[in-house]
Amino acid sequence: MNYELSVNAALRGEPVVNTGRQTLFLANVSHEIRTPVSAITGMAKLFREDNLDKTQVEYLKNIRSMSDTLLAIINDILDFSRIDTGRLNFDAADYSFTRFWDDVTSLFEFLAASKSLEFRKERGPDLPAVIFGDALRTRQILVNLLTNAVKYTREGYVLLKAELLRTEGGEYLVYTVSDTGVGIKDADYEPIFDTFFRADEISANRNIEGTGLGLAITKSLVALMAGEICFESKYGVGSTFRVYLPLVRGDPDNIIAAVEGSEIHASSDVDILVVDDSKINLTVTLGYLKSYGFSADSALNGREAFEMARSKRYDLIFLDHMMPEMNGLETAAALRAMPGEYFKKLPIIALSANAVLGAKEFFEEAGMNDFLEKPIKESDLAAILTKYLPAGSVEITYHNDVPEPDLKALATGSHIVDRARGIRNFGNDPLLYEKVLRDFTKDHLADYSKLMAAVNDNRTEDATRIAHTIKSTAALIGAETLRAAAYDCEMSLRHEKSCPEGLTDIFKARFDAVISELGDNRTADDADGESENDADKVLDNAKTVVLLSQLIPLLQRGALEVFEYSERIKETLSPFGDLYHILAEHIDEFAFGSAATVAEQMLDSLYTT
């Protein structure tokens, strides 16, 4: 198509026929713009504010804000172009319909309530428990339809119904989304699924935000899944959309089965950096790597990781998406903007619990090499290590006959924390899992208070990040009800920029229930070990010298083997009192350098007394 003719037609208000070449051009240009904008955003967040005057701080904040806004616009264009050029991948697998249903309905119950709307849900009695398909794409379809329903309904209700339809050609899963909203005019029926079209935009809906891409994307997804979508509407009364998707029944054993076994071994020294603001997530990833024979450095935020990567050449970086100070996208952009071939080729793997539509493509376009979903699956991690570490540094053998621990015996107690699921998330290592549970009660005890403080102070970005971290951590330990509540809070904060009181009340109740259960278990397990007062213990100089002589080199190297000494550290070094607690805290926080300094002070004190 002639570009000049297209522009002239657009200026005259005539429709312009889009071509694949135009869309590809749009995607490429958007991507090229996105890279420097991401770098600007990342570099802006590297600036310190303590040496700037008030005017300069305000300028810097404006740069950050406008960069974020521009990135959001570019991301929308990239999402559209990805579908339009056929670069959208589908990932079919068995999934629990109940969990899928609860995830979708729980979110929109509260989004509807925030507008004083009634949210109705109806689920057919003959729907299978497990479905084979792409849960993420199906969820995206429903989210788009329900978001429109809530957005365009001022009073009344929004309904989501799921039912089974049997035909001669096979079974279909039918989703119905109805509302009592403004409805659609007859003149808007034909173009309603067109790209960038917004029904009755000039009058009744002129104050409702939107790009006009939602229904177009929805129709494309339904078609790509071999389904159909139709609607009926009466202007001023409401609308009903129906989606028909071919139903393939899944295998329940695939939902319950343990992770496929694999054996991975490090065959040479490599340097790996793991970046995550959640200490529990750090423990999981570092624990996996340690079990394979890899040592790794760690950082709790993007700024720290950026400085570490500038001073040390890493073979692989695992980078969490949502972090304070600098998030993963900004950190990756800042690293890619550094001069030199090393920073261009450095493998960066995104870590995120948000396995949403196009997540892998999203992170790749942000300058990362790949994407690893949290909770981390051992087989996925093995594939990443094998693919991106230098040739010959990994030996891996897969097999399916790995003996499992007695999960039924371990999964005792209430259903608040599913220990069987949690242990599987930690590679069937019950000792590592129990350590993480203890860390959870210590490190996350104040999370609810932090979340509410951020919500009340209108610090939406901070509140979203806290909810996201709790969501991924709760999923790791098997606290499904808490995960769902944190997810609802996160989605409300993302889409509505607020978290209604009903949501936070449910979150608090579920958070308290998890803390209470884990706290009771910890007290029962550790009562005997904690009954003796540290002050009453007598320091054994010989054992202390031996232990400290072993610990100090490990701490100086940042070796994770130090965690194997936890019981000996407590038993031998607790008579040091406050110094012991400082040492233990540094180790728990992976501050190995500071811990080494404290250990050296302990050793010096033995020789001076």
pLDDT digits (tens, 9 = 90+) for 11-50: 333 444 444 555 556 555 655 566 566 556 655 655 655 5
Q: What angle do CA 451, 457, 459 make, to 5 degrees?
A: 70
Q: What is the distance between the alpha carbons of residues 527 and 520, in angstroms, rounded to a whole number? A: 10
Q: What is the pLDDT of residue 404?
A: 39
- Residue 130 class from Cβ within 10 Å (0-12 exposed, 13-18 middle, 19+ buried)? middle
Tell me if 250 sits within 8 A of 130, measured CB to CB.
yes
Tell me: the pLDDT tens digits for 260-296? 444 667 777 889 999 988 877 787 788 778 777 888 8
Q: What is the pLDDT of residue 415?
A: 57
Tell me if 78 sits within 8 A of 366, measured CB to CB.
no
Rg (CA), the chain: 27
Q: What is the distance between the alpha carbons of residues 588 and 162, in angstroms, rounded to a whole number? A: 47
Is 356 in a helix, a strand, or coil? coil
For tokens 């080729």, name the residue. 345
Residue 508 structure tokens: 């608090």
Nearest alpha carbon to residue 261 among 427, 432, 430: 427
For tokens 């290592």, name the residue. 429
Q: What is the distance between the alpha carbons of residues 244 and 167, in angstroms, rounded to a whole number? A: 12
Nearest alpha carbon to residue 536 among 590, 574, 501: 574
Q: What is the pLDDT of residue 318?
A: 95
The number of C-alpha atoms within 13 Å of 280 and in the hemisphere containing its C-beta is 27
**Is the pTM value of this prediction over 0.75?**
no
Q: Which residue type is seen at 537?
A: K
Tell me if 594 sits within 8 A of 579, measured CB to CB.
no
Tell me if 227 sits within 8 A of 246, measured CB to CB.
yes
| Below-70 pLDDT ranges, the chain | 1-51, 62, 64-66, 68-89, 110, 191, 194-214, 252-264, 353-359, 375, 378-379, 396-415, 426-429, 431, 519-537, 558-561, 589, 607-609
Tell me if 179 sits within 8 A of 236, measured CB to CB.
no
Nearest alpha carbon to residue 332 among 313, 352, 306: 306
Q: What is the pLDDT of residue 384?
A: 85
For residue 246, the 8-state DSSP code is E
